[in-house]
């Protein structure tokens, strides 16, 4: 199959993150088996999703991981020109959900499997497909652990997110948490007898905003990220029952976009300390029913730029790209790096098309990626 044929097939599987990806996984297993390649499933706890990895080439250390996620974002509420799960071509582009983010890379890698098998590889190629990247990169950690535990150990990893085949050597991390505030209801004319959960939440959100302002003021002008500092942002909030009742409940969700090396732990610890010392005591003084809880929902580590990184050197050699590129969105690259593998992000397509209606990838990008993989095979042979 050509990369475009394989991409059309992968798009036909509706793998929005709230659905199972097992049909796609079964298809890939059968496809790999038809070329004599054994694969390993790494199921999630529910048994409704699975990651997959396979090795092509000799069972020795020193190979490369080609990594992609199988899930895609929803199409609900988007105005598509045609069925988003039935790919179509027009004006040198291939349209469909996941075409750019990131089934284009997965399809090109899978289409090249016959060439991988036929090559006289001196070092192996590991194909790694994850699930639930779009909702928190939940599938990658068990996948990486299983791949490394079974061995052999790869030398470096390439995460094929859409970068227009440019070599991305760093990205921000992300931490997501939900804060639930329980106040004490009272008639708003007797405000002194109640505790407004909304007012308490407002103090917490103001604290988070203040931290972003401090980071902005202290930002390193030489930092390559835009913006060049860690941000703390609350994007969802709900609470209250009526305008004349002090709100008993309020909850909101916050994400922290972390510079590489800036751990989420210190921010959440400082946040909880502010709750315990500056917000909760005044609430409890009115009612012991009051409470504030913080639930951590997701954490994805950033990808740090490496000094003399193996992955960077190899992929720059294969692409000819010597520019410095970092991105502010998170990928699974930081997870591979956290497990000790030199890692870069490099794949076909543009991030500008990701998550959009009529998502597309330029067919020329698939060709560029195929050529890149051809050169990779030559270097491993």
Kindly report whether the peptide bond that precedes residue 227 is cis, defined as omega within 30 degrees of 0. yes
Q: Which residue has the tokens 């709750």?
A: 275
Q: Is the CB of residue 330 less than 8 Å from the CB of residue 316?
A: no
Cα(160)–Cα(111) distance, integer angstroms = 15
Phi and psi angles of residue 321, each rounded to the nearest 5 degrees, phi first: -85, 120
- Of 64, 111, 106, nearest to 341 by C-alpha is 64
**Among residues 29, 101, 132, 133, which one is catalytic?**
133
Q: What distances in angstroms separate CA 342 from CA 13, 56, 109, 231, 335, one per listed residue?
A: 31, 20, 20, 26, 11
Q: Which two tokens stand for residue 92?
A: 């040198």
Tell me how far apart the 2 most distant CA atoms of the chain are, in Å.
81
- DSSP string for 192-241: GG-B-HHHHHHHHHHHHHHHHHHHHHT--TT--SSSSS-EEEEEEEEE-S
To the query of whether residue 251 is one of the catalytic residues in this protein, the response is: no
To the query of whether residue 71 is one of the catalytic residues in this protein, the response is: yes
Cα(375)–Cα(369) distance, integer angstroms = 10
| H or E element, residue 327 | strand 325-327
**Among residues 71, 255, 312, 332, which one is catalytic?**
71
Residues 248-272, buried b or exposed e (16+ Cβ, 10 A)?
A: bbbbbbbbbbbbbebebeebbeebe
Give residues with Cβ within 8 angstroms of 185, minimum separation 6: 194, 241, 245, 246, 247, 248
Name the residues annotated as catalytic: 71, 133
């Amino acid at each position: 199959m050509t990369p475009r044929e394989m991409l059309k097939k992968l798009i036909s599987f509706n793998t929005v993150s709230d659905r199972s990806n097992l049909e796609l996984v079964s298809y890939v297993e059968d496809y790999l088996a038809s070329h004599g390649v054994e694969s390993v499933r790494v199921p999630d706890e529910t048994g409704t999703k699975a990651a997959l990895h396979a090795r092509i080439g000799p069972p020795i250390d020193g190979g490369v991981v080609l990594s992609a996620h199988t899930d895609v974002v929803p199409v609900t509420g988007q105005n598509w020109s045609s069925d988003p799960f039935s790919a179509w071509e027009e004006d040198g582009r291939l349209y469909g959900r996941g075409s750019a983010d990131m089934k284009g890379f997965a399809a090109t890698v899978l289409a090249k499997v016959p060439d991988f098998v036929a090559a006289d590889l001196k070092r192996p190629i590991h194909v790694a497909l994850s699930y639930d990247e779009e909702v928190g990169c939940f599938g990658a950690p068990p996948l990486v652990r299983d791949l490394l535990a079974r061995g052999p150990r790869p030398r470096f990893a390439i995460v094929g997110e859409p970068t227009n085949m440019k070599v991305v050597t760093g990205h921000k991390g992300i931490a997501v948490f939900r804060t639930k505030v329980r106040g004490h209801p009272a008639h708003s004319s007797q405000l002194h007898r109640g505790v407004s959960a909304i007012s308490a939440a407002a103090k917490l959100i103001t604290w988070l905003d203040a931290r972003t302002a401090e980071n902005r003021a202290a930002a390193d002008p030489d930092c390559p990220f835009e913006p060049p500092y860690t941000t703390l942002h609350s994007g969802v909030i709900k609470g209250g029952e009526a305008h004349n009742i002090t709100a008993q409940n309020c909850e909101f969700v916050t994400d922290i976009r972390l510079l590489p090396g800036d751990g989420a732990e210190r921010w959440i610890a400082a946040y909880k300390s502010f709750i315990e010392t500056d917000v909760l005591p005044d609430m409890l003084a009115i009612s012991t029913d009051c409470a504030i809880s913080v639930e951590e929902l997701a954490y994805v580590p950033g990808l740090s730029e490496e000094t003399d990184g193996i992955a960077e050197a190899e992929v720059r050699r294969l692409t000819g790209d010597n520019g410095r590129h970092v991105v502010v969105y998170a990928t699974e690259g930081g997870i591979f790096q956290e497990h000790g593998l030199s890692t870069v992000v490099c794949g076909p397509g543009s991030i500008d098309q990701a998550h959009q209606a009529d998502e597309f990838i330029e067919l020329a990008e698939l060709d560029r990626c195929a050529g890149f993989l051809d050169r990779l095979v030559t270097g491993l042979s």
